[in-house]
Amino acid sequence: MYCYSYLFPVGRIWIAGCDDAITEISWSPIEGVQCEIPLIIRTARQLEEYFAGTRIDFDMPLRASGTAFRQRVWEALRTIPYAETRTYGEIARLCGFPNASRAVGGACHNNPISIIVPCHRVVGVNGLTGYAGGLDKKKFLLKLEETTQLKRAVILK
């Protein structure tokens, strides 16, 4: 596995992958050979565009390791539209496990591909809850998406 870290407006982010898929995007250092392979560079560029407000979707191949339940949750997270949020309970129901909101929280906490698999868009019934990168980063990402969406709406008018 190859990895490389980049500094973005929200802090340092590590990206890891192999020739055919991104396997991890993390707020913490990742073990691996430090090398900017083409897919990692492409991912970093897309993240730069995301932070600049010019990208709302990502299009690189992903391969996350996790249980079948976690895979299902991570797939459901990718259906949350940009600049919108869902509750842990809504994701649990979407996955077919209506009483598993705490397990959804665990899957979000263990999401290996931050931002692109947007666990930051999952909130508690009463508002913001934890985030593996820290609540400050979750707030930053949600505000970035809200601001970008508002700017896009003005441009489209």
What's the whole-model pTM score? 0.92
Domains defined along the chain, listed by start: 2-52 (no CATH), 68-156 (1.10.10.10)
pLDDT score recorded for residue 132: 85
The DSSP element (H or E) to which 1 belongs, if any, is none
CB 116 within 8 A of CB 15: no
- Over residues 116-140, the pLDDT tens digits come to 999 999 999 888 888 888 999 999 9
Share of the chain above pLDDT 90, in %: 85
Question: Per-residue pLDDT tens for 59-74?
Answer: 999 999 999 999 999 9
Nearest 5°: phi and psi at 62? Answer: -120, 150
Q: How many helices (H) and strands (E) does the chain have?
A: 5, 6
| Largest Cα–Cα separation, the chain | 47
Task: Please answer whether residues 16 and 2 qualify as being in contact, where contact means their C-beta atoms are separated by less than 8 angstroms.
Answer: yes
Range list of H helices, the chain: 38-52, 68-77, 88-94, 101-109, 135-156
Question: In this predicted structure, what is the pLDDT of residue 153?
Answer: 75
pLDDT for res 154 = 72
- Position 42 pLDDT exceeds 70: yes
Q: Give the residue numbers marked as catalytic.
A: 119
> H/E element holding 114?
none
At 133 the pLDDT is 87
CB 82 within 8 A of CB 149: yes
pLDDT band for position 156 (50/70/90)? Answer: low
pLDDT in the model for residue 129: 84
What pLDDT is recorded for position 151?
Answer: 81
**Residue 103: pLDDT above 80?**
yes
Structure tokens at 43: 């991912």
Beta carbons of 4 and 44 less than 8 angstroms apart: yes
